[in-house]
Amino acid sequence: MQLIACPWCGPREEVEFHYGGQAHVPYPDSPAELSDEEWAHYVFFRDNPKGRFAERWNHSAGCRRWFNAIRDTATYRFERVYRLDDPKPGVTELARSREEGTAP
Amino acid sequence: MSPRTPGADLPEHPDRLWRDAEPKRSYDVVIVGGGGHGLATAHYLAKNHGITNVAVLEKGWLAGGNMARNTTIIRSNYLWDESSAIYEHALKLWEGLEEDLGYPILFSQRGVLNLAHTLQDVRDSVRRVEANKLNGVDAEWLEPDEVRKVCPVVNTSTDIRYPVLGATYQPRAGIAKHDYVAWGFARRADEAGVDLVQDCEVTGFTTDGNRVTGVRTTRGTIGAGTVALCAAGHTSVLTGMLGIRVPVQSHPLQALVSELLEPVHPTVVMSNAVHVYVSQAHKGELVMGAGVDSYNGYGQRGAFHVIERQMAAAVELFPVFARAHLLRTWGGIVDVSPDASPIVGRTPYDNVYLNCGWGTGGFKATPGIGSALAYTIAHDEPHPYVAPFTLDRFVTGALVDEHGAAAVAH
């Protein structure tokens, strides 16, 4: 079974985790000013890339805390896990951690 | 005479059913995706509308994606008018498809039971039966003893974790041989002059204002009068090339078969509550589907714990299956929409039509969507059966919420 590295608990089996979909989708700054189309995009539309994807995960059967991960949707490989208050890692940073072998 | 091998009475196939076409420089209609929906659309474009300057582009081999990986269940017992209209249209076409294609598809109307395990299940199911009857779809509510008569191997005892409290029954539902369906459509389309181009992956589009002028592929750029996207799980990859956002998420969906067994299971049984759907194929293998893996994925494979959970449910419901051996598991990629209904019709480009979001249930719709999409392309006007399923409904709010009736997996 695939192991997922919880930022707090370390590597645990996939069944302990709950998927939370795309990460970094902020609540609209001025909700009252949104058009129907903008609301539709906030509520229903999410990215669906084949490849690297920034996602939310919850360690629901462990520490029960949310975290973010960069995962490749074609290979299912986790490239990075990071805390919710960390910024989304850039491409160069991910490449560097892969070279240095520090990716989880 | 020795006993016949299971499956020995299946029809033989001629060596070649279609030409492996070289792409021409341009076509009136280019269909992206050589699965069931793409092939059916090509067939009905030729048959119903006389449009034959058509190419079907397939990045792998013909019908090697979800068309080769689904559990072949066909039914039309959906809740809402919009859904039952298109699925019932499809079922009526299934009933005449063998004749239409001149090809055996082993369409077997053995009925489907959708089990109810809780009081809420029962209420929802009875409501769906009544809605089906109003829409002219055959449907009955069965009590547990009647369920046992239709399918004796279902455990209807009251001492299991989720006892069977009854089921909806659609006698006209059934299964078909998915590969034969694809081959039948491919052969007919090819005979009509449609080019079926395999090993031809779309890598981009050439555009001129609000129109797409051509499709860039690994086998060169192909000019297109109209483009229809029928790529299921890879739809977002294509629409991304066009800068169109579509509210689907691609998930792995797994299925499995047992070894070949003597006939034990006479119908199709689905259970949303305990997550399993089972039929027995003509050759004798038990065919079962799981729920989707939770995360987005394009890998055509999923996690084993999903299979394990599903087997546990299957054995609880069908104790007789406990000794069957698992022969093979596999995965496909399904494109799941927010309301569990398909997204079909216009896009921001004048000559590009979308057909996606069928999620876990696209196979049953194959002839229905093929004919309705062909009409939509030929008339440049959404067919009434697909008109409710616009991309625009996520802005207007006119959703078609089929989470209850769609399938186990949504």
- Predicted TM-score (pTM) above 0.90: yes
Q: What average pLDDT does this structure show over B18-31?
A: 97
Is residue B88 in a domain? Answer: no
What percent of chain B stands above pLDDT 70?
A: 96
What does the pLDDT read at residue A98? 66
Across chain B, what does the average pLDDT equal?
A: 94
Tell me: do B127 and B154 sit in the same domain.
yes
As for how many domains chain B has, the answer is: 2
Q: Is the pLDDT of residue B141 over 60?
A: yes
Tell me: do B291 and B321 sit in the same domain.
yes
Tell me: do B259 and B151 sit in the same domain.
yes
Q: How confident is the model at residue B276 (pLDDT cuts 50, 70, 90)?
A: confident
Q: Is the pLDDT of residue B175 over 70?
A: yes
Tell me: do B161 and B277 sit in the same domain.
yes
Tell me: do B378 and B356 sit in the same domain.
yes
Beta-bridge partners for A5? A11
* Chain segment B373-391, per-residue pLDDT in tens: 999 999 999 999 999 999 9
Mutate to test the interface with A, among B254, B395, B396, B400 (most CBs of A within 10 A): B395
Burial B347-363 (b: 16+ CB within 10 A, else e): bebebbbbbbbbbbbbb
ipTM for the whole complex: 0.93
> From the CB of residue B247, how many other CB atoms can be counted at a distance below 10 Å?
23
Question: Nearest to residue B76, comparing CAs of B183, B171, B202?
Answer: B171
- 3-class DSSP assignment, residue B279: strand
Is residue B115 in a domain? Answer: yes
CB A16 within 8 A of CB A58: no
Q: Give the residue on A whose Cα is nearest the Cα of B392.
A: A37
Is residue B398 in a domain? Answer: yes
Look up the domain containing B240 and give its range: 26-70+179-247+338-406
What CATH number belongs to A3-100?
3.30.2270.10
Is residue B79 in a domain? Answer: no
Mutate to test the interface with B, among A1, A4, A45, A50 (most CBs of B within 10 A): A50
Residue B324 Cα, gap to closest chain A Cα (Å): 24
Asked if the C-beta of B210 comes within 8 angstroms of chain A's C-beta atoms, the answer is no
Q: How confident is the model at residue B225 (pLDDT cuts 50, 70, 90)?
A: very high
Is residue B317 in a domain? Answer: yes
Q: How confident is the model at residue B409 (pLDDT cuts 50, 70, 90)?
A: very low
**Distances from the Cα of B174 to the Cαs of B250, B260, B267, B281, B311, in angstroms?**
26, 19, 7, 11, 22
Q: What average pLDDT does this structure show over A35-60?
A: 97
Q: For residue A33, what are its two tokens?
A: 């000013």
Question: Nearest to residue B103, comparing CAs of B16, B195, B185?
Answer: B185
Q: What average pLDDT does this structure show over A71-100?
A: 86
Side-chain-side CA neighbours of residue B156 (13 Å) = 20
What does the pLDDT read at residue A99? 62
Q: What average pLDDT does this structure show over B139-143?
A: 98
What does the pLDDT read at residue A100? 61
* Chain segment B280-335, per-residue pLDDT in tens: 999 999 999 988 999 999 999 999 999 998 899 999 999 999 999 999 999 999 99
